Amino acid sequence: MSNTLKKIKDLLVEHHHAFENAIPLIASENVTSIQCKEACNSDLSHRYAEGWPGERVYAGCEWLDQIEEMAIDLAKKYFRVNFADVRPISGVVANLTAYTAYTDPGDVMCCMPIPSGGHISHGPKFGRVSKNLINGTAGAVHGLDIQYLNFNWEEMNIDVEKSAAIIREHEPKLLLFGGSVFLFPHPVKELSEVAREVGAKVMFDAAHVLGLIGSGYFQDPLREGANIMTGSTHKTFPGPQHGIVLSNTEDKEETELLKKCAFPAMLSNHHLHNVAGLAITLAEMIEFGKNYHGQVIKNAKAFAQALYERGFKVLCEHKGFTESHQVVADITNFEKTIGLGGDIEKTLEKANIIINRNLLPWDITRDHRDYMNPGGIRLGVSEVTRLGMKEKEMEAIAEIMKKVVVDLKNPKDVKADVSELRKEFQDVKYCFPAKTKAYEYISFK
Ligand SMILES: *Cc1c(COP(=O)(O)O)cnc(C)c1O
């Protein structure tokens, strides 16, 4: 084998081994079933199929067309919608598809402020997050004029009254809900009424909470007034890295426009192997999603409580901490001992606990902290739940994190506790049976 090939293989194997022995708590990540992995490694990763199934501009699509049609039907069933486009290759591409369908460059869009949890794909062309200049997708790619809604720091949610005033003042073409820090359902119902007054369409970016919504938890945006829902299919929805556009419109012209804004506006090839993986995961979630996502939410609440009892300033105790897969904590009480978000992230990484630093809504404007070393951390339990962990293990993880962050134990020593905890949790759960382990490195013959 050439040296390059060997080096890359060694790195891949090491990566897999590290994840077998880690506690993965990145809120935007998950792990796919073995059957999904197999589909994602199929020959479909070499193919093109532009257009809609049955109306392709490529030959050789007979079988992948049937798979994509199944993916569409399964998505309609799982999300209880009458239109699904499974072609967008990521959440950002799904968002751009919706922006293109409902707005023109120069139009106003109202959405969550980025430091409060809005996503970079919602942002303006030139924005500033502390010292860093950011180029948000909505502004930089589609020319939208971004006006931020008001976010209540105490409630960690969009303030209905103040945001209604902002919508009436700026008369946007599009009102966008959803974000990357997402603890509680957004006031879609209340503010959609205001959006209708000014003639705005309503969009819900469900990248993080797509699986929760599909399985019937969190909220139901398309029945609360949203015209369109976009998402990533690999966060709480435990599928391959891909995107999706969903709508309940009966209007044929609107669905035709949505299709055209995906292809040809946003896509050429659409990663057909991942469409196959998505179809498989949809079948899994129709069967096991209620149990899986129910446990995700229970685990998040248990984890938040366990951390809170161990000295972590978990946000929103007065509201039960969270209604989603996420837990957010203010870690500034550890500044003198370990440091801020970036430092804690690095220290926990040495113990094989993988977490995210995260801006708190007040970090920049009030406390002048930087994005690289913010005052918060964001934790997600989707992946550990898919490995079969329950409330008891959430308490065990909180205890291990306490050893590093509160008791200041050497993280290298704590690594052994992490491996020990992980020993019994090596399979992907909430899917059809398979023999291959969750993070097993698969070598082809
Ligand atoms: C992750 C995320 C996205 C982007 O998703 P990709 O699939 O990585 O492109 C979009 N919006 C929100 C709110 C997100 O959290």
Percent pLDDT > 90 in the chain is 95
Q: Are strands 83-85 and 157-158 parallel, antiparallel or unpaired?
A: unpaired
Ligand 1 proximity of 295 Cβ (cutoff 6 Å): no
Is the residue at 89 inside a domain?
Answer: yes
Q: Domain tally for the chain?
A: 1
- Position in ligand 1 atom list of the atom nearest CA 232: 7
Residue 247, in any domain of the structure: yes
421 lines ligand 1 (CB under 6 A): no
Tell me the CA–centroid distance for residue 207 and ligand 1, in Å. 5
Ramachandran class of 199: left when φ > 0, alpha when ψ lies in -120 to 50, beta otherwise: left
In whole angstroms, give the CA distance from residue 286 to residue 125: 39
Instruction: Say if 85 falls within a structural domain.
Output: yes
Stretch (H or E) spanning 90: none
Q: Kindly state whether residue 311 falls inside one of the protein's structural domains.
A: no
Residue 20 located in a structural domain: no
Ligand 1 within 6 A of CB of 178 = yes
Higher pLDDT, 372 or 180: 180
Average pLDDT, integer, range 114-142: 86
What per-residue confidence (pLDDT) applies to 132?
67
Per-residue confidence (pLDDT) for residue 130, from 0 to 100:
59
Phi, psi of 430 (to 5 degrees): 55, 45
Nearest protein CA to atom 6 of ligand 1, as residue? 91
- CATH label of the domain that carries residue 234: 3.40.640.10
234 C-alpha to ligand 1 centroid (Å)? 10
Reply yes or no on whether the pLDDT at 131 is more than 90: no
Q: How confident is the model at residue 308 (pLDDT cuts 50, 70, 90)?
A: very high
For ligand 1, is residue 179 a contact (CB within 6 Å)?
A: yes
pLDDT (0 to 100) of residue 191:
98
And the tokens for 403? 């050893």
Residue 239 lies in a domain: yes
pLDDT tens for each residue of 251-280:
999 999 999 999 999 999 999 999 999 999
Q: How large is the average pLDDT for residues 67-85?
A: 98
Is the pLDDT at 243 greater than 90? The verdict is yes
C-alpha count within 13 angstroms, C-beta hemisphere, residue 377: 31
Considering the domain boundaries, does residue 293 fall inside one?
no
How confident is the model over 400-443, as pLDDT tens digits? 999 999 999 999 999 999 999 999 999 999 999 999 999 999 99
What is the percent of the chain where pLDDT is above 70?
Answer: 99
341 within domain boundaries: no
- pLDDT, mean of residues 195-216: 98
Tell me phi and psi for residue 174, to 5 degrees: -140, 135
Cβ atoms 173, 142 nearer than 8 A:
no
Spatial CA neighbour of 271 closest among 442, 16, 46: 46
| Ligand 1, atom 15: closest residue by C-alpha | 180
| pLDDT attached to residue 445 | 84
- Residue 222: pLDDT over 70: yes
231 within ligand 1 shell (Cβ under 6 A): no
Is residue 398 predicted with pLDDT exceeding 70?
A: yes
Half-sphere exposure of 133 (CA within 13 A, CB side): 4
Cβ–Cβ contacts within 10 Å for residue 444, how many? 4
The whole-angstrom separation of Cα 245 and Cα 232 is: 9
CA 160 from chain center: how many Å?
Answer: 24
Quick check: 351 and 411 in contact, CB under 8 A?
yes
For helices 160-170 and 188-197, give the axis angle rounded to 10 degrees: 20
- pLDDT band of residue 371 (cuts 50, 70, 90) is confident
Output the pLDDT for position 129. Answer: 63
**Do 345 and 316 form a contact (C-beta atoms < 8 A)?**
no
Residue ranges making up the domain that contains 220 = 39-283
